[in-house]
Structure 1
C-alpha cells in the first residue's frame, strides 16, 4: 500500500470519527477542514497511483462529504439558471 493511500485511509478514518462527535454548526467547519486537507491528499494519490485510483478516492471523499457536494450542485444549478438566492 502506497503512502498516499495510507494518508487517504487516515483521512477517511478521521472524517468518520469527526462525524461521530457532536457539533453546533452541523459539522460544516469540520467539512471545510476535511476539504482543505483532502485536496492535497487526493492530488498525491492521483500522482502516485494514477487517475483511476484518484477517481475512486475522489468518489469516496464525495460520498463522505455529500452535503457540501449537494449544496455546491444546487448553487451551480442556480447560477446556470440565472436565479439569485432571494428568488428561491
Structure 2
C-alpha cells in the first residue's frame, strides 16, 4: 500500500474519532482535517490517478458539505448560515 493511501486511512480514522467527540471539542481537529484533506487528496490523485482521486474528492465533499457551504456563503457575502438553520 502506498504512503498516500496509508495517510488517507489514518485521516479517515482521525475523522471518525473527531466525529465521536462532543460538538464543542470538534472544532480544532475538524478544521485541521478540513485543511489537510485537499493536500491528501492531491497526493492520492498524484500517486494513483483520477480513479482513486475522484472518489476521495467526492467523499471529502460529502463529509464536509456543511462547513464548505458555510465558507462558500461567507466568501460570497451571504449572511451567517449555520447547519442548525437547515438545508
Task: Flag whether TM exceeds 0.5 (same fold).
Answer: yes
- The 1:71–1:2 alpha-carbon spacing in structure 2 relative to 1, beyond 3 Å, is same
Q: Which consecutive segments of 4 or more residues in structure 1 shift more than 4 A? A: none
Structure scoring higher RCO (CA < 8 A, sep ≥ 6) equals 1
Task: Please report the TM-score for the alignment, with normalisation by the length of structure 1.
Answer: 0.71
Q: Structure 2: any 5+ residue segments left out of the alignment?
A: 81-87
Larger Rg over CA atoms: 1
Cα drift, residue 31 of structure 1: 2.1
- Equivalenced residue count is 80
Show CA shifts across 1:25-77 (max 9, x none): 6x33322110222222111101100023111111112222222123234446x
Task: Please report the TM-score for the alignment, with normalisation by the length of structure 2.
Answer: 0.72
